Amino acid sequence: MASTSSQKSVNTSLEEHTPLGKVQIAGEGGEYVIINKNKYYRHDLMAAFGGNLNPGASPYPTININPAPLGLCGFALTTFVLSLYNAQAMGITIPNVVVSLACFYGGAAQFFAGCFEFVAGNTFGFTALTSYGAFWLSYAAIFIESFGILEGYADAEEQIPNAVGFFLIGWAIFTFILWLNTFKATVPFCALFFFLFVTFLLLAGGEFSGHVNVGRAGGVFGVITAFIAWWNAYAGVATPSNSYLQPIYIPMPGNQLKKD
């Protein structure tokens, strides 16, 4: 009777989508996980994983699609190209080539991926992907003449660096908030937002200080961020059915829910 009652509780709670609170391990063999007073079988839970932008243990989504890799790839490629410019690789100092990526891949594609995360019930993924998609769209708008953003500073061009610095520091604060929500996830997942946070700080510092090398350091960190994003994207699409190379799962210290 006890087993039947537990199974009923598990099935009922799997249909609920409550915010993640305190996580407890129960059962003689640690086979149960209690989240917000709801009991789940450990194997019925989706562990925190960067491949699906899931920062904490939760029931699997009800739709069989993972939009996170699309958003991560759009973010990674656009960040990679812009960061090479920021690092002044091969002497390139004009960033306009990234506008097309910022509009269509890092912008539109990532934003739509975030909307699909909303359908999947992933609040973190929805918040992150739609926000960074909007970041790229807003960044591209700065360089598109029809928006008239730079034209507005025609009589005060000396204000542009500080204005861009405000723009970047705001995104650094937002990224820091997201980073705080990745401490129960995996190392690559947490590292993605940490390196992105540092990237925004350095780029903002470069704008405020006017020191080129600070901005170039931001470009280097941005390149590292892009590769970490690609790694998380690969983790979301590589399965035993399509790849011989499986990503290494490295849980953050204290993460009790190990992936089997």
The verdict on 93 and 131 lying in the same domain is yes
Q: How many CB atoms lie within 10 A of CB 210?
A: 12
The verdict on 227 and 196 lying in the same domain is yes
The verdict on 15 and 86 lying in the same domain is no
| pLDDT computed for residue 99 by the predictor | 95
HSE-up of 140 (CA within 13 Å, CB side)? 20
Residue 60 is assigned to a structural domain of this protein: no
Residue 248 is assigned to a structural domain of this protein: no
| pLDDT computed for residue 25 by the predictor | 65
Domain that holds residue 141: 68-237
Residue 235, phi then psi, degrees to nearest 5: -65, -25
| pLDDT computed for residue 202 by the predictor | 98
Residue 143 is assigned to a structural domain of this protein: yes
If we measure between CA atoms, which residue out of 176, 194, 198, 203 comes closest to residue 232? 194
The verdict on 217 and 154 lying in the same domain is yes
Rounded to whole angstroms, the Cα distance separating 125 from 121 reads: 9
For the chain, 260 residues long, give each residue's pLDDT as a single digit of tens. Answer: 444 444 444 444 434 444 445 556 666 655 555 555 666 555 545 566 566 677 765 555 566 688 999 999 999 999 999 999 999 999 988 888 999 999 999 999 999 999 999 988 889 999 999 999 999 999 999 999 999 999 999 999 999 999 999 999 999 999 999 999 999 889 999 999 999 999 999 999 999 999 999 999 999 999 999 999 999 999 888 877 888 888 877 888 866 554 43
| pLDDT computed for residue 117 by the predictor | 92
Rounded to whole angstroms, the Cα distance separating 244 from 97 reads: 35
Residue 85 is assigned to a structural domain of this protein: yes
The verdict on 193 and 129 lying in the same domain is yes
| pLDDT computed for residue 60 by the predictor | 58
Give the pTM: 0.78
Domain count, the chain: 2
Is the separation of the CB atoms in 181 and 55 below 8 Å? yes
Q: Are strands 32-35 and 23-26 parallel, antiparallel or unpaired?
A: antiparallel
Residue 84 is assigned to a structural domain of this protein: yes
The verdict on 33 and 117 lying in the same domain is no
Residue 14, phi then psi, degrees to nearest 5: -65, -20
| pLDDT computed for residue 259 by the predictor | 44
The verdict on 155 and 228 lying in the same domain is yes
Structure tokens, 15: 């249909």
| pLDDT computed for residue 129 by the predictor | 97
The verdict on 194 and 78 lying in the same domain is yes
174 burial (CB, 10 Å; 0-12 / 13-18 / 19+) is middle
The verdict on 103 and 190 lying in the same domain is yes
The verdict on 31 and 123 lying in the same domain is no
Give me the numbers of helices (H) and strands (E) for the chain, helices first please. Answer: 8, 5
| pLDDT computed for residue 162 by the predictor | 96
Q: What does the DSSP 8-state code read for residue 49?
A: B
